[in-house]
């Protein structure tokens, strides 16, 4: 049995941080924190190997720093940030992420920091590295409900306009005719989110170089691998007068449900129009009128082969044009990222791809941040409990649902406001606090937009 050394009354050398910051989130770290004293073995080699292994897994929690002009500087540790705050050399300007601003002029020596962005349709990977370690890493989930909300808004507006006796014609009021470079709102939102994420990170860290992964997809080549030359201009419906005739001829005038040829035929959408289905030939099939009605009534069931979706190609094709050129960033391609990721034996994730894009090799990795974009406007119908008629709330309150607020010294999440904005209701919490007065509430940080 091996002898144990004497009890160490000092802080271990492999500890990451010293607890005692103003907020618990700054010092929170799952893998490196030491909450109590421990007795160590006399085997120094064993302790050294454990120390090296831990350091390769995680990097210490950082605090973002801004100079007296509000420009980002190199981040610091929570311990140094606490000392600056105690000596009145700095002030807190943001709680999430925790950021301080210096009250005195200082030297602004900065290292070379590279930001890598793995662009995507549903998720964006980001990674900020230097030569020795990684400061920031994570994934941002984009919104996918923009098209559905626009469709619902169009329905409400159409119903409202139909109730008017007279309204001005709007056939000359189309968005497409107003300016060039128009993009669908769903794609425009995703491009704007890429730009906002890069600008937000640049406000936190002194980024010297930004690299974005771009791609160029040939939609017609994805549908028909043998297409070439003049076939790009001819398309599938060459020599056909209309779409219906092409579908009937392609399916050989045969119902795709009962496989019979006799009868009157109709055209069926495999993906419904209400579910954002398109009028592409791949999404249309030939069916009998009776089979069509019985299918929608649920009397018969049939599994159609769903067509491939190409919604991701427009956003990826426009990243270089609308993001790289606008922000003057460097760019790379997916096959280069894939080769380097395999050389480093990393899993296929967005944050690992971003790490490789930024030029990562053997840097100490940081904790992973997983966040999503939350829409800022929560305008909705009021749900009155007294059976009164529903009405749209016209006033936008300062505190929104999802905001993190302080009430009676406790951190709580806002669930909404009531009584004409005089009271705030809270999400179910361990303190068993349901609501509070607006005068006693302080907003710590807003829960909308992009949160890092």
CA atoms within 13 A on the CB side of 218: 10
198 three-state secondary structure: helix
Looking at the DSSP bridge assignments, the partners of residue 416 are 425
Q: What distance in Å separates the CA atoms of residue 48 and residue 210, rounded to the nearest whole number?
A: 36
Length of the chain: 452
Q: What is the pLDDT of residue 315?
A: 83
Q: What distance in Å separates the CA atoms of residue 443 and residue 414, rounded to the nearest whole number?
A: 10
Measured CA distances, 116 to 65, 136, 139, 143, 321 (Å):
21, 10, 12, 21, 18
Structure tokens at 55: 């350091």
Kind of pairing, strands 98-102 and 90-95?
antiparallel
CA 391 to chain centre: 32
Which segments in the chain show pLDDT lower than 50? 1-57
The per-type count for the chain, helices as H runs and strands as E runs, is: 13, 17
Q: What is the pLDDT of residue 387?
A: 64
Q: Which residues contact 120 (CB under 8 A, 6 or more apart)?
A: 142, 316, 350
Q: What is the CA radius of gyration of the chain?
A: 29
Q: Phi and psi dihedrals of 306, rounded to 5?
A: -75, 140
Q: What distance in Å separates the CA atoms of residue 450 and residue 189, rounded to the nearest whole number?
A: 13
Closest CA to 97 of 64, 136, 59: 64
Q: What is the pLDDT of residue 430?
A: 87
All structural domains of the chain, each given as residue ranges with its CATH number in brackets, are 24-102 (no CATH), 114-144+181-217+311-372 (3.30.420.10), 231-297 (no CATH), 377-452 (no CATH)
List for the chain the helix, strand, coil content (%; round to 5): 30, 20, 50
Q: What is the pLDDT of residue 27?
A: 38
Q: Is the dihedral of CA 13, 14, 20, 21 positive or negative?
A: positive
- pTM for the predicted model, two decimal places: 0.74
H-only helix segments in 33-117: 44-57, 78-86
Q: Phi and psi dihedrals of 268, rounded to 5?
A: -115, 135
CB atoms within 10 A of CB 224: 11
CB atoms within 10 A of CB 362: 9
Kind of pairing, strands 330-333 and 209-214?
parallel
């Amino acid at each position: 049995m091996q002898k144990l050394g004497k009890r160490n009354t000092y802080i271990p050398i492999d500890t990451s941080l010293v607890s005692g910051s103003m907020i618990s989130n700054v010092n929170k770290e799952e893998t490196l924190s030491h909450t109590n004293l421990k007795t160590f073995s006399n085997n120094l080699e064993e302790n050294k190997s454990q120390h090296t292994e831990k350091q390769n897994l995680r990097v210490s929690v950082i605090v973002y720093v801004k100079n007296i002009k509000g420009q980002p500087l190199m981040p610091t540790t929570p311990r140094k940030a606490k000392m600056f705050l105690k000596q009145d050399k700095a002030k807190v300007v943001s709680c999430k992420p925790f950021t301080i601003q210096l009250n005195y002029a200082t030297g602004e020596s900065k290292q070379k920091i590279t930001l890598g962005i793995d662009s995507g349709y549903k998720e964006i990977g980001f990674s900020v590295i230097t030569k020795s370690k990684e400061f920031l890493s994570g994934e941002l989930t984009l919104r996918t409900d923009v098209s559905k909300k626009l469709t619902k808004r169009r329905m409400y507006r159409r119903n409202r306009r139909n109730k008017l006796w007279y309204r001005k014609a709007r056939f000359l009021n189309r968005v497409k005719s107003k300016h060039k470079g128009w993009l669908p709102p769903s794609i425009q939102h995703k491009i704007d989110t890429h730009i906002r994420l890069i600008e937000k990170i640049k406000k936190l860290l002194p980024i010297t170089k930004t690299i974005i992964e771009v791609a160029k997809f040939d939609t017609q080549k994805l549908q028909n691998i043998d297409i070439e030359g003049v076939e790009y201009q001819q398309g599938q419906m060459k020599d056909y007068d209309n779409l219906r005739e092409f579908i009937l001829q392609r399916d050989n005038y045969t119902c795709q449900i009962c496989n019979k040829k006799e009868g009157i035929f109709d055209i069926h959408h495999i993906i419904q129009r209400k579910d954002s289905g398109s009028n592409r030939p791949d999404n249309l099939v030939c069916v009998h009128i009776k089979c069509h009605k019985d299918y929608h009534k649920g009397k018969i069931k049939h599994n159609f082969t769903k067509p491939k979706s190409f919604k991701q190609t427009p956003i990826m094709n426009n990243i270089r044009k609308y993001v790289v050129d606008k922000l003057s960033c460097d760019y790379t391609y997916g096959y280069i990222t894939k080769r380097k990721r395999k050389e480093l034996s990393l899993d296929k994730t967005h944050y690992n791809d971003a790490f490789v894009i930024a030029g990562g090799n053997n840097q100490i990795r940081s904790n992973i941040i997983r966040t999503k974009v939350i829409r800022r406007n929560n305008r909705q119908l009021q749900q009155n409990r007294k059976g009164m008629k529903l009405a749209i709330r016209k006033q936008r309150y300062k505190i929104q649902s999802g905001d993190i607020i302080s009430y009676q010294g406790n951190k709580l999440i806002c669930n909404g406001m009531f009584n004409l904005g005089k009271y705030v209701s809270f999400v179910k919490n361990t303190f068993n606090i349901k609501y509070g007065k607006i005068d006693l509430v302080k907003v710590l940080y807003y829960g909308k937009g992009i949160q890092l």
